[in-house]
A and B are shown apart, each in its own frame.
Chain A
Amino acid sequence: MTMSRRALLAAGAGAGVGLLAACGSNTGRGGGGSGTELSQWYHQYGEAGTQQAVQRYAAAYHKARVTVQWRPGDYDQQTAAALLTDSGPDVFEVNGPTLDQIQGGQVVDLTEMLDGVKDDFNPAVLTPKTYDGRVWGIPQVIDMQMLYYRKSLLRDAGVQPPTTLDALVDAARKLSTSKVKGLFLGNDGGAGVLGGTPLHAAGLQLVTDDGEVGFDDPSAARTLGKLRQLYAGKSLLLGAPADWADPSAFIQGLTAMQWSGLWALPQIQQQLGDDFGVLPFPGDGRNGRPTVPVGAYGAAVSARGRHKEAAKEFVKWLWVERTDYQEDFALSYGFHIPARISLAKKATKLKNGPAADAVRFTTDHGYAQPLLWTPAAQTAYQDALSRIIRSGASPESELRGVVRKVSAELDRVKKVRNTKKSS
């Protein structure tokens, strides 16, 4: 049988329309059908079972059909780009939202969601999600980072768990052998993960409470210079197959100490039993103090979503009302501290051993990245830290450049705030 060109074209056009219709019907979004459809995005968690858990929570919600998207890769960049379009998520977890996202009107005000329960959310992680007295993201869990150390290796080397930065540098050097390195701060030598932690350890801040640069001080350069000592002294593990967030290097015995998150604790405990302890990042100098960074992924609602009210209702249901799911999400897979103070208090898994230490560190020494610390400020600081640690650049001159850049950024965001207020 032969087919005329016209028939072929018609068939092709028909197939094309069919394909387009098929694609269009599987967007996971509402419109036209019965009941509201919501799209919810999560970044890819490393802990097994988390994905199934969030799918189970979504399936249990009956006021709308919620489609969960589990997104591997560069999640922060994906959400930032998706917020510019109408095809992004309705509800999404976010390591923020950032000040630019809030000022740009990309996320919805969720203040009312916390009516009557606001005081039950840990202020350390709620504050960075609050701008002009309004709440823009509901904290899901609290994540914190700390220093894991292998008790037996420290004992064999005659090293005490370090309580000052100088002691940490010294301990890392003594613990380094031809097979095992003293400390793992990430494959970049700590430039990425440590962020503002060394500055806090020196008694400083990234941004002061009145919105000024908080590290324009000679002690900042002195402390960052000690990170260079760790690197130059060949005490750091570099180039591990898995980076700092994964405890593999520590478990496999490639390093005696590792900077990682509380989420890694169950895995470490399972592999090493009691042969490990945890510490905050040690303080440095006269005004120094131990410190641990805390942060929280929060649930946010896209301002470009088609069903904003339905999305807000879902967020309230899952992250405010369903405390049983919140507890399950925080503690049944990796370890995270529940964002609700009442849940954190009764979490039995966090009451003993290193987990209890971690909770105490969070309460006593925790700091969160301030909302005014913009991505541009972060990039400038992180680049400088990388040059100080890896290339031996002068901490003083690098920090001078960062202070200039961060001041300009703070001026910019304050200007936007004033412009919005006056309009």
Chain B
Amino acid sequence: MRRRRALWFWVFVGPFAAGLALFTYVPLLWSVALSFFDAHNTVTPTHFVGLDNYTAMLRDDAFVGSLRTFLVFTAFIVPATYVFSLALALMVNRVRRARAFFRSVFFLPAACSYVVAALVWKMSIFNGVRFGLANTVLGWFGGDPVAWLSITDPPWYWLVIVTVRLWLQAGFYMILFLAGLQRIDPVLYEAAAVDGARPGWTVLRHITLPQLRATSVAVVLLLVINAFQAFDEFYNLLSDARGYPPYARPPLVYLYYTALGQGQNLGLGSAGAVILALVIAVVTVGQARWLRLGRTDADG
């Protein structure tokens, strides 16, 4: 009986495990191996160069600049999305009627492709000519058209990047928070009311937020990882046929050009990918320890 169950286990899990190994772990290990070789225009390791690719990448201003840019982006987008999606969840949770409708409306953008949303933002809302949506609104108030994605001073392109990401992902995190909110025992709120706690900020601070701690930790971790992996909207908003501007260049875009673009330096690109993976791992682990992920109150 046990052998039979094991057989069925492998029948169902085997193909997926094989796919995971073949398409994820083998390329991953191959890429790590490649990072120690000179591999121009080839995925076959040829000339061993040791740590040269790593030192070259860490001395490359463009790559280090992209990492720096992304630390700033992460530091902004994570709290912004957290606050925005939590506010949405609190709002939808309080709605008495048509809650499912509002939940769906706010969640719907999560189903939209990042590429499509980026193009809508770029071509229709935030293009730089006078008939773009944002510039039309500015015009009503007497403002001159703004080239949102083309000027660096002030850096309006961040407004475009941040709003498209907020629009796309806030709904998803709102659903996570809603699930968390619905698991809070109403008795706690009733007890607080009896004790004289005023509804609003006090209740949010002393009951809702502590009760949402587990959800918050998961949300923040996911947000940090997603922020470092940002690619689609940056690439589609800012690239053109000739390349990508050096400002607001995410590490993944830079690695794409280095390894997969015409540069075709797969050894250097692999070293960059390993460095980026290590940065994400260190930030995530550090953050998990800081947020005491996986510990209960009893663990101290």
Contact = CB atoms under 8 A, between A and B. Distances in A.
Q: Max chain B CB contacts within 10 Å: which of A106, A240, A392?
A: A240
A98 B262 CA distance: 8
A386 B147 CA distance: 16
Contact of B128 (A77, A193, A240): A240
A17 interface: no
A76 B261 contact: yes
B226 interface: no
A239 B240 contact: no
Contacts of B245: 188, 191, 383, 386, 390
A378 B263 CA distance: 10
Contact of B264 (A80, A243, A254, A378): A80
A96 B127 CA distance: 32
Contacts of B150: 187-189, 238-239, 390
A188 B130 contact: no
B262 A80 contact: yes
Interface string A95-123: 01010110110100000000000000000
Judged by DSSP, the binding face of B is loop
Interface in B107-163: 123, 126-130, 132, 144-153
Contacts of A290: none
A379 interface: yes
Given A179-B130, A383-B62, A106 B262 contact: no
Contacts of B43: 84
Given A83-B41, A187-B240, A254-B129, A375 B147 contact: no
- The bracket for how many chain A residues form the interface is 35 or more
A374 to B, nearest CB: 8
A409 B264 CA distance: 14
A81 to B, nearest CB: 5
B247 interface: yes
Contacts of A376: 263, 265
A380 B101 CA distance: 51
A61 B43 CA distance: 35
Interface in A351-394: 374-376, 378-380, 382-383, 386-387, 390-392
Contacts of B147: 187, 238-239
A241 B129 contact: yes
Interface in B219-275: 240-243, 245-247, 256-257, 260-265
Contacts, number: 115
A186 B245 CA distance: 13
A100 B264 contact: yes
B240 A241 contact: no
Contact of B260 (A77, A104, A188): A77
A257 B130 CA distance: 18
Nearest to B15: A16
A379 B62 contact: yes
B68 interface: no
B152 A77 contact: no
Contact of B241 (A101, A245, A382, A386): A245
Contacts of B153: 391-392
B41 A101 contact: yes
Contacts of A30: none
Contacts of B152: 390-391
B127 A241 contact: yes
A192 interface: yes
Contacts of A245: 241
Most B C-beta atoms less than 10 A away, residue of A179, A189, A241, A374: A241
Contacts of A83: 41
Question: Considering residues A76, A187, A239, A378, which has the most beta carbons from chain B within 10 angstroms of its beta carbon?
Answer: A239
Given A81-B260, A100-B262, A104-B42, 5 more contacts: A188-B150, A188-B245, A379-B243, A379-B263, A390-B152
21 contacts: A77-B261, A100-B264, A103-B41, A104-B264, A187-B128, A187-B147, A192-B241, A192-B242, A195-B242, A238-B150, A239-B132, A239-B148, A240-B129, A241-B127, A241-B129, A241-B132, A243-B241, A375-B262, A379-B243, A383-B62, A390-B152
